Structure 1
Amino acid sequence: MIYRLQEYIKSGGIIVGVSAGALMVSPTIGSAQFGDENHVGLDDLSALGLVPFEIMPHWNKWSRYLADLQKYSLSNNVNIYTVCDGEGIIVQGDYVKLYGDIGIIENGVYI
């Protein structure tokens, strides 16, 4: 199914990810550990990899994890977009458009 979704996107298809669905378009769902517990003991945190960054949804609720996410960003060499409820990101190829006051944690620095 992952291959089909990746091919769908490459051919111009649209996928909308909200909350956990937004996490799924990232390379991993690693940022979910800040806000949600892994009750089922999930070991494989890989996701669809449709965008080259991770997403922290519900930032208005989880912003207290900023320091932890900065460490995570630095140690995993990943950029994290912080998105509050009601905000959004459109990605089309290399084009990225942010809607709202979306922050970026890049190399451990919150921009």
Structure 2
Amino acid sequence: MKKKEYSENIIHTIKIGVDARPFSTPVSGVGKMIHSVLFDLGKDVSFEFYLFSHKDIHPSYVNLLDLPGIRFVKGEGFFSKKGGLYFAVALPLQLSKMRLDLFWGTQQV
């Protein structure tokens, strides 16, 4: 049986922002789980992930940046000095300047 395509719309890359603050410290349970998901999905050209953090990525996770679908955005300035302050003030300002389809707040459980 032949598959019939009903939509003529082109599916573009899905842009996903990720709270990457867990990647600023050595390997932990939450960070390891997020890393595993991104390591697989970051190879898929249908997705573009933007990792947002107030600090540099810890060497344990830096291999994610080698994947074609992963970008890193580091916060700067006064409001990026502490993780909570960054998430509450600086990150929303950064997100308002980007055209993301989805934001994954990884620490909001």
So what's the TM-score if we normalise by structure 1? 0.30
Q: Greater Rg, structure 1 or structure 2?
A: 2
TM-score for both structures, normalised by structure 2: 0.30
* Larger RCO of the pair (alpha carbons < 8 Å, separation 6+): 2
